[in-house]
Amino acid sequence: MNDVHNPPDRVISDVNGLLYDPGVRQAMQVLASDSGTDALEAAAAVRSAWQAVDRLRARGAGGRGLSTGALDVLGRLAAAGHALSIGDLARAGGVSSRNVTGLVDTLERNGLAERVQDQQDRRSVRVAITTAGHDWLTTFQQPTERAMSAIFFGFSADELAQLRHLCLRIVDNQRAIERYLISAETPPASTENTDEATR
């Protein structure tokens, strides 16, 4: 029985020397039309790559148990150098305010962040990183650098830049689709009053 955390090596090279997973290719043929499985295989590869990076990141966390989302929020708070609103964090991370609220709750329970009153607007609350949060990031930095060096071993700076670029093109396309779907669901403004005013 295979350990799900250590799957067997399955990737092989095609005639052009490019890696692919024959098991994924076979499974995707059920879902693909005659045009092929390229996009489906690419999506599966992105997912597998993300899982590989996240598993190594979690191991680098040394059992300190922060999710990727919570780590992202903590990093944004540290980089900002000042308290941020939940809305600011949600927009920066491209997630919902509800999602960020849950992540902030986790950070607060661990003593890594705290909610503070907004000095400009006493009704608003902001989130700030704590000294323990800064310390956590400092201890996380070295194992993270080692983990990323290992998982991207053999990649040139140009390849890393291309990988980043291609992944962010996927993100851009997804955001464009969401904007389109939201605009398609929004009914047009009523023109009844305008028509009556022009009569």
- Quickly state the pLDDT bin for 8 (edges 50, 70, 90): very low
Out of 2-6, 98-102, 158-162, which region has the weakest mean confidence (pLDDT)?
2-6
Do 135 and 72 share a structural domain?
yes
25 within domain boundaries: yes
123 within domain boundaries: yes
19 within domain boundaries: yes
Q: Provide the CATH number for the domain around residue 127.
A: 1.10.10.10
- Determine the Cα–Cα distance for residues 157 and 78; give it in Å rounded to an integer: 26
- Domain encompassing residue 25: 1-60
Do 72 and 6 share a structural domain?
no
- Quickly state the pLDDT bin for 41 (edges 50, 70, 90): confident
Do 72 and 10 share a structural domain?
no
Do 45 and 78 share a structural domain?
no
- Quickly state the pLDDT bin for 123 (edges 50, 70, 90): confident
pLDDT tens-place string over residues 43-63? 889 998 988 887 777 666 555
Listed residues 60, 92, 111: the one ending a domain = 60
Which SS3 state, helix, strand or coil, does residue 178 take? helix
Q: What is the mean pLDDT of residues 137-158?
A: 88
Do 166 and 126 share a structural domain?
no
Number of domains in the chain: 3
Do 6 and 32 share a structural domain?
yes
Where on the phi/psi map is residue 166: left (φ > 0), alpha (ψ -120 to 50), or beta?
alpha
51 within domain boundaries: yes
Sign of the four-CA dihedral 148, 69, 162, 5: positive
Do 83 and 26 share a structural domain?
no
Do 99 and 52 share a structural domain?
no
Q: Quote the pLDDT of residue 62.
A: 56
